[in-house]
Structure 1
Amino acid sequence: MSQLELTGVGREVRLPDGGVLPILTGVDLAVDAGEHVAVVGRSGSGKSTLLNVLGLLDSPTSGAYLLDGQDTARLRGRRRARLRGECFGFVFQQFNLLPRRTAVENVAAPLLYARGRAFLTRRRTAAEMLDRVGLGARLDTIPEKLSGGEQQRVAIARALVRRPRVVLADEPTGALDVETGRAVMALLAEATAEQGAALITITHDPAIAALADRQLRLAAGRLTAGVPA
């Protein structure tokens, strides 16, 4: 059974004039645990909408989305939010770090919603994750004192700290130079593989997509195999 599976998924929005704008159309996607899949598409192709659907931020308007065999259409309110926090880690182009918090405080932030031992040991767990991404000596450094690559590594550590089953990376190298971007992607792929998590990278860059196990193309809301040359 796949970690997640979309079957015929569509997403549309209603316009002020009463019309309907399709964003995703008939999307089929199955991703296994530990697999790295890249989705390439230009601006306006529906990449962000696809990521929002996958991350339980939006719901499909048609089709089915199964997560670990569970129909996500049946999820509501707090249950949906709890599953999102437990199952998914998010990495964005803009690092979205808390500017006045140290690296270890940023990484520990998702654990503030944990319970029991996970909550009580959150700083130690965050420190261990930062050490894992090569920032063990930067625990008490605030974001503005870190390079772009270091900030993205903090963001990766934050995404992984709750050991999610799926990591969604939205243009994770867009704010980085080419060399740093490749290093960050290698780290992200290695870290998710070690945890057995599926990694889905949304990107406009075919070179970044080529680092994945499988490459898909999203154009005009339709998902197909392969990427443009």
Structure 2
Amino acid sequence: MSSDSQLLTLENVTRSVLLPDDSDLHILTGINLSVNEGDHIAIVGRSGTGKSTLLNILGLLDRPTSGTMTWRGKDATRLSARQAAGVRGRDLGFVFQQFNLLPGRTALENVMAPLMYSTGRDFWQRRKLASQALERVGLGSRLDSMPQTLSGGEQQRVAIARALVRRPRVVLADEPTGALDVTTGLAVMQLLDEATVESGAALITITHDANVAALARERFRLDGGQLLPLRQEVAQ
């Protein structure tokens, strides 16, 4: 893989928090991960293993306590809050378990929302771009539907369209099937995988579901504050 396709790297990344008794709680103890264009990575872990903490670091919402993190070859730990927000808005897409759609706004308006902060073509063509994104996820006929009139699977499709509308380089999916039944969840994940492959974006899925993880091409388990290749655990 060429360095030009490398998007994100973590080397010996740790994250600790100070407890009220002045002791340190070590959440991440040495994370190593390399993310390239087109990757589909699944990270599996039980509740309390640090999945959310790792997601926040990957999404530039938090900083490591120690270690090296790079974004497209540059030291991401040196980004200012404004620069990090710029990367999130431009290059990162987020899909959450609870959909987080805006109530009282149509599917189209929800997908348009990230483009309201854009400039140039993306801003002036925001309605067209949002319509196209919804078409790609099979909701071209539901543009004017309110979230409460959509099924759980349809709401998650709207959330996927919203995450992809700005053509991000990396999509971070946090338990994206947790609020869906098994069949709908797998269908949504297959759609998300296909959509990111089509756009060339990397997809990182944080999940506790082995069936969802099985769809990824690289699989890790977060355990003891470290990422372990899932294939090694199976071999053991």
**One-letter code aligned to 2:95:** V
C-alpha separation between the residues in 1 aligned to 2:55 and 2:11? Answer: 15
State the alpha-carbon separation in 2 of the partners of residues 163 and 16 from structure 1. 42
In percent, how many aligned pairs have the same letter? Answer: 64
Instruction: Give the equivalent residue in structure 2 for 1:52.
Output: 56
Matched, 1:114 2:101: no
Among 171, 181, 184, the residue aligned to 1:180: 184
Runs of 4+ in 1 over 4 A off after TM superposition: none
SS of the residue corresponding to residue 48 of structure 1 reads helix
Deviations 1:86-142 (A, max 9, x none): 110000000000011000000000001000221111111101100110000000000
Unaligned stretches of 5+ in structure 1? none
Aligned residue runs from structure 1 range 18-57, under 5 A? 18-57=22-61
Structure 2 length as normaliser, TM-score? 0.95
Alignment correspondent of 1:150: 154
CA distance in 2, matches of 1:220, 1:102: 43
* 1:85 has 2:83 as partner: no
1:171 alignment partner, one of 169, 175, 178: 175
1:137 is matched with which residue? 141
How far apart, in 2, do the equivalents of 1:96 and 1:220 lie? 30
TM-score (norm 1): 0.98
Q: Is the aligned partner of 1:102 residue 2:106?
A: yes
The alpha carbon displacement at 1:77 in A equals: 2.0
Q: Give distance in 2, aligned partners of 1:131 and 1:84.
A: 24
* RMSD after superposition: 1.0
SS across alignment from 2:179 = coil
Cα distance between partner residues in 2 of 1:81 and 1:42: 29
SS of the residue corresponding to residue 131 of structure 1 reads helix
For residues 89 and 27 of structure 2, what CA distance do their matches in structure 1 show?
25
Counterparts of 1:126 and 1:151, CA distance in 2: 15
- Amino acid in the other structure paired with 2:162: R
Gaps of 5+ in 2: none
Number of aligned positions between the proteins: 229
> C-alpha distance in 1, partners of 2:201/2:126?
21
Aligned to 2:11: 7
SS at 1:39 equivalent: strand
Aligned mates of 2:150, 2:226 — CA distance in 1: 39
What SS class does the counterpart of residue 184 from structure 2 fall into?
Answer: helix
